[in-house]
Amino acid sequence: MSEQHKTAVDDASLSGLQEALAQGHVTSSDLTRSYLARIEAYDRQGPRLNSVRVTNPDALAIAKALEAEKPSASRPLAGLPILLKDNIATGDRQPTTAGSLALAGAHARDDAFVARKLRDAGAVILGKVNLTEFANVLAIGMPSGYSSIAGYVRNPYSPSLMDDHAPVVLPGGSSAGSAVAVAAGLCAAAIGTETSGSLLSPATQNGLVTVKPTVGLISRSGIIPISHSQDTAGPLTRTVRDSAILLNVLAARDPDDPATHLLQRPDDYTGGLDTDGLRGARIGVPSDPEDPLNDPFFGPLTRRAKQVMAQAISVLEDLGATVVRAALPPIAWIGGPGTTMAVLNRNPFSPLKGTAGSASLVFLYELKRDLNLYLRDWATRTDMKTMADIVAFNTANADKALRYGQDLFLAAEATRGDLSEPEYKSARAMDLAAAERGIDAYMSRHRLDAVVFPGTSGAAVAAKPGYPSVQVPAGFVSGVGATETPDYPLGLTFTGRAWSEATLLRFAYAFEQATKARRPPPDLPAL
């Protein structure tokens, strides 16, 4: 590999690497060795970002076998090293643990549908990345990026700043490792998952692009679940085009995931990317100066974050979009009656320890059923056969497994596990009703093509009905509460109705090309 291409790998786009492979400037083995070296230098040593749980022991052999192949229309990812969140099953020598000590030795009987699609497209599965344990449905107040099996993932924009029990600048969760690894240049791209915010949160904290797809666009088969009503996988990349390329590979019907049977998609998500893509669009900004109490999105922002968002909205207008400033109906973000449940907070680090916390009722009721099905149908080489087994293991190994407790697991385990309870059915119906009376009514009333939110603030609004969001870097902020910090990123999220990913990608691409707001983390130079 030439010296020029050695220095490019640390912040190279996936599309750029495709071209380099196609032209013979690099080989798959070159790329794989380069990323493994960066993982050793920056993840294991140096700032110890701790994003990569394990590297695939077969990665170099897979890359070697792909050296004679160039990326093509049928195999667009040929030779490209991709990392997977450690709740996505692989039927190889890598474990699938969800970050839990209880599943430390667990493997999977086969590849998840997502992993299989990546391999079919020629990708090198480089390894598994750390996450917030069980995708942050284990304990109230668990900091993003923490798991009992691996400790804390660090944000590459502020890797050394810690308080008494967590990073000050969080890496975002639960797909923390996926995002940090991409931001730090440890892979060509990564795959994360979201139930409500777990792609959008790490994307905004690490200055990345992500697509949180419509539920059903990407199969969930073989992914350790929270809630089948809201779970989805999605890409984390350095550019909008890269996310579109991955969406082309991942968006497919799966006989084992009924949600995908209704899938709607274009032939090519990159085909609509256009620098003029915002012209004529109607974009909702859910912040009305005449209704300040009904603005949980833009209202609470810091002064600097408000400046970033004001500039972002100005760019939308400069690019030809009509910006409609109007508050969302409160039910969109408050939710309907009976959609949350009280859970006793036993987290020893929480200032609200001993009080009643609040959790999504749908999450907790679906969690027990869905996790038990995964353990039955996918998990191998583990004694954990049910959620009850994991709760018991954690209790028996509390000093190592329960730094933040397992209050949410205890609440979920107390359900029947068959979704027969009337309160569950009511809560799910109310989640959908809140979307119908909230974001659906809002978009219809104002004839909107999309709604924009700062960072992850609108995640739940879209997640409850399973709607898509695309986030793109917008600028930088600093400070966490009273603590001064280095600059770290803030993203702009475009949200729309079901199956509108192509439209949202077009908007995000136009914004990205006009702003070029992304900057890679400092102090992680090419090797």
Active-site positions read 85, 174, 198
Q: How many CB atoms lie within 10 A of CB 115?
A: 26
User: Do 319 and 509 contact (CB within 8 A), yes or no?
Assistant: no
Amino acid letter for position 276: D
Could you give the angle at the alpha carbon of 362 between the alpha carbons of 360 and 366, nearest 5°? 125
Question: Can you tell me which residue has the tokens 């490019």?
Answer: 8
Q: How far apart are CA 140 and CA 168, in angstroms?
A: 18
φ, ψ for residue 32, nearest 5 deg:
-65, -45
- Region class of 110: left (phi > 0), else alpha (psi between -120 and 50), else beta: beta
Q: How far apart are CA 514 and CA 240, in angstroms?
A: 13
Q: How far apart are CA 119 and CA 112, in angstroms?
A: 11
Q: What is the DSSP letter of 258?
A: G
User: Do 128 and 189 contact (CB within 8 A), yes or no?
Assistant: no
φ, ψ for residue 53, nearest 5 deg:
-70, -55
Beta-strand runs (E) in 68-119 = 81-85, 107-108
Q: How far apart are CA 69 and CA 121, in angstroms?
A: 11
Q: Nearest CA to 92 among 147, 54, 149?
A: 54
In the chain the first and final C-alpha atoms are separated, in Å, by 13
* Cα 435 off chain centre by: 21
Q: Which helix (H) or strand (E) holds 358?
A: strand 356-360
Q: How far apart are CA 169 and CA 163, in angstroms?
A: 10
User: Do 277 and 494 contact (CB within 8 A), yes or no?
Assistant: no
- Tokens coding 153: 């993932």
Q: What is the DSSP letter of 293?
A: G
- Tokens coding 242: 């890269």
